[in-house]
Homo-oligomer: A and B are copies of this chain.
Amino acid sequence: MSAELTRRLEALLFVAPEPVTGAELLEALECEPGELDLALAELRGAYAPGLRGIEVKEVAGGLTFATAPDAEDSVRRLLAKPRTPPLTPAQAETLSIVAYLQPVSRPEITRIRGVSADSASSTLLERGLIEEAGRSQFGAVLYRTTPLFLKLFGLASLQDLPEVTAWDPSPEETADLRDRLLKAGEARAGGPVGADPAG
């Protein structure tokens, strides 16, 4: 393949994000239908199935390149390898609240974080780290962690979560973890804090 028209045709099919119609090709290549037919035949020959890693395909009323079917496994390994991206700070916070307090509702998570947890909890749901666990008495959806969560954190069970006291900045507090988290969250959000009603 070296005819200049065929080379330009190849470039067009390569670079076009969508299948290209014959009319579009004629206009872009500024050639006659007969010339295009010849170039196309040459290109089809060069990319006949089995010869190369790419094939010329006719789809949706146009021409396009596609990867050869037998390269699919490699392509999948390259582009679709299962990924476990690092947790963002918002996701880590949301996940820790669910892990320690489960089952817990989204409004509670929001109150504890002081800011909305909607986007973070959607991502965690999508990735299968948390799942729905019924509804609270007020009708809010409750969340809990999944077996995948335990696997990804290398935990045998929820009992293996790190002791909160190791990270606890206020060990003198004796109240329940949930209450303390809520109190701290409300202080962050600028809401009423028991200690300083005037503030």
Contact with B along A2-27 (1 / 0, CB 8 A): 10101111111011100010001101
B51:A2 contact, CB within 8 angstroms: yes
The 5 A-B pairs with the shortest beta carbon distances in the complex, nearest first, are A10-B53, A11-B71, A11-B53, A28-B78, A11-B67
Quick one: which of B10, B12, B67 contacts A15, CB cutoff 8 A? B67
A1, A8, A27, A74, most chain B CB atoms within 10 A: A74
Q: Is A75 an interface residue, CB under 8 A from the partner?
A: yes
Q: Is the CB of A14 within 8 A of B78?
A: no
Given contacts A2-B51, A16-B79, A67-B15, contact A74 B8 (CB under 8 A): yes
Q: Is the CB of A78 within 8 A of B2?
A: no
Residues of A in contact (CB 8 Å), total 35
26 contacts across the A-B interface (CB closer than 8 A): A1-B52, A2-B50, A2-B52, A4-B70, A6-B53, A7-B51, A7-B53, A7-B68, A8-B70, A8-B71, A10-B53, A10-B54, A11-B53, A11-B67, A11-B75, A12-B53, A12-B71, A12-B74, A12-B75, A12-B78, A14-B53, A16-B79, A27-B78, A28-B78, A29-B74, A30-B77
Minimal Cβ-Cβ distance residue in B for A71: B11
Contact: A75 with B15, CB < 8 Å? yes
The answer, yes or no, to whether A143 is at the interface (CB within 8 Å) is no
A53 touches B20 (CB 8 A): no
Bound-state CA distance A51–B15 (Å) is 17
Asked whether B77 lies within 8 Å of A27 as measured between CB atoms, the reply is yes
Does residue A65 face the partner (Cβ distance < 8 Å to B)? Answer: yes
Contact B14 A54 (CB under 8 A): yes
Q: How far is the CA of A67 from the CA of B11 in the complex (A)?
A: 5
- Report the separation of the CA atoms of residues A4 and B51 in the bound assembly, to the nearest whole angstrom: 9
* Chain B residues within an 8 Å CB radius of A52: 1-2, 7, 10
